[in-house]
Chain A
């Protein structure tokens, strides 16, 4: 665990009352920053990561040694330009990259939490991260940005702290997790639970990992991040290092081999219990219900300028669900722009090299920033 010394951590002393009723305090919140905060402290962008992301947005992730998850969008001269903006990203609570999560030791029992860890919500994640503003002395963020679960955090953040961000960019997300979303998450959780190694969440004390279950969870989820057309174009029925079918259950097809690979690399970097907790947080997310069926009420107090982005081939968080957010914002006269980006890359489009998306993101941010500095 030496590697985790590279992780910056804020110990949040202030008590945080979680939605489940428990209160936590003195908990670690791991974060990373890119670029520098200007003297006026008005160039900060808080980026929220998605289900399996972490605080290492761009550059080489010091733990996995791979490119940061949003390297296409964040960096010098990129859409979220680190020469211009101060980018902050925190590992969500419940996660496994240094923030308070199920792999931490419970001070009361001196044992690793496992499934004794409190159930976390998107609201809790956001309420933990607001502490970063005080820590950096930032009164108002220039922007809050995130895709997928990151987008849900953007919506929750604005709802909780309507005057803490100048602009808000929820990407490829929803205001309420659908039955289909919950179904896929449940499939992943059951795959983990079905792995004997999971041991009801107590695998750490036995020094084993439910890697097979977690890999299957990742494989299933990965399919939902891609589009049928994208898969067909990339893999079709191409065979994996063989000339013909082998009449067995090895990976005959490239798509099988690809999914197995995705599953295997995932287990090296992700904690199975964190996967349970974070998917649960997503499933519990229902901003519509939180405001008694009227999503507009979530945004009635904000002056933030919104930019909503969806992708044509995203069937996990389809355009219509993103548009519902636009409609709710229009209903309260909020300043909201919206674009649906043409892409075959499915839900994952926001993480990939999709030039129209990257261009729109950059233009929105740079123009909004220039506006307030003119």
Chain B
């Protein structure tokens, strides 16, 4: 289980109606079902992973979040979770707006491209960074819109959504991000976790 699942779970209230966008093999869905008694649905693009979710008894819709979120009416869910996939969309702005239309709140996690290892990688090697969490070459990566924690904070101001809570994951430890430590967290945070609202 990914370390941020526990953190995501802590952001969600008990018995909430939750949509996990890009739910993968349903691990987070199961965790939220068990720990938060969440009424949880998933949407997943891979047929194989949809099958895995069905085998776990989870309610999942095969679909592409970029196009298929529009089938949900406004405010269908209390929370919509988007785990480490914002960077893979053709149009992240539309996706964020859709998340906040479909859900009252959204929880978005992003792999931080501002992490010092990524920076050093580019600085010294002069090639596109390859790290544990970003294992692809530039030409075959699904991650076409990488951003940093700082970028995401700026993004919230540009497209006008509220960040309620921002957390950084560093060596499996979670800490708050605020204005005074943003530069530091942007350098050391492996993952940014944001609870947002329109």
Contact = CB atoms under 8 A, between A and B. Distances in A.
B51 interface: yes
Interface in B65-82: 71-73, 76
B59 A305 contact: yes
B47 A367 contact: no
Contacts of A370: 57
A60 interface: no
Given A360-B51, A367-B54, A330 B59 contact: no
A222 to B, nearest CB: 28
Interface in A324-374: 326-327, 330-331, 333, 335-342, 356, 359-360, 363-364, 367-368, 370-371
Contact of A330 (B50, B54, B55, B71): B71
Nearest to B52: A363
B59 A339 contact: no
Interface residues of A, number: 25
Interface string B101-141: 00000000000000000000000000000000000000000
A356 B51 contact: yes
Contacts of B16: none
B51 A339 contact: yes
Contact of A338 (B51, B61, B73): B61
Contact of B54 (A326, A327, A340, A360): A360
A333 B50 CA distance: 20
Interface string A269-311: 0000000000000000000000000000000000001010000
B62 A367 contact: no
B60 A337 contact: yes
A359 B59 contact: no
Nearest to B57: A367
Contacts of B51: 339, 356, 359-360, 363
B54 A364 contact: yes
B71 A363 contact: no
Contacts of B50: 339
Contacts of B76: 330, 333
Nearest to B77: A333
Given A337-B61, A340-B62, A363 B47 contact: no
Given A333-B76, A342-B47, A326 B71 contact: yes
B54 A338 contact: no
A339 B58 CA distance: 12
B73 A367 contact: no
Contacts of B59: 305, 335-337
Contact of B57 (A339, A341, A371): A371
A371 B58 CA distance: 11
A367 B60 CA distance: 13
B145 interface: no
Most chain B C-beta atoms within 10 Å of own C-beta, residue among A307, A336, A337, A338: A337
Nearest to A366: B57
A331 B55 contact: no
A213 to B, nearest CB: 41
B16 to A, nearest CB: 14
B56 interface: yes
A363 B61 contact: no
Interface string A304-322: 0101000000000000000
Contact of A327 (B41, B57, B60, B71): B71
A367 B55 contact: yes
A360 B54 CA distance: 7
A305 B39 CA distance: 13
Interface of A: 305, 307, 323, 326-327, 330-331, 333, 335-342, 356, 359-360, 363-364, 367-368, 370-371
19 contacts: A307-B54, A326-B61, A330-B61, A330-B72, A335-B59, A337-B60, A338-B60, A338-B61, A338-B63, A339-B54, A339-B60, A340-B47, A341-B47, A356-B51, A359-B51, A363-B55, A364-B54, A367-B54, A367-B56
Given A336-B59, A337-B54, A363-B55, 9 more contacts: A307-B54, A327-B71, A330-B61, A337-B60, A339-B51, A339-B60, A341-B47, A363-B54, A367-B55
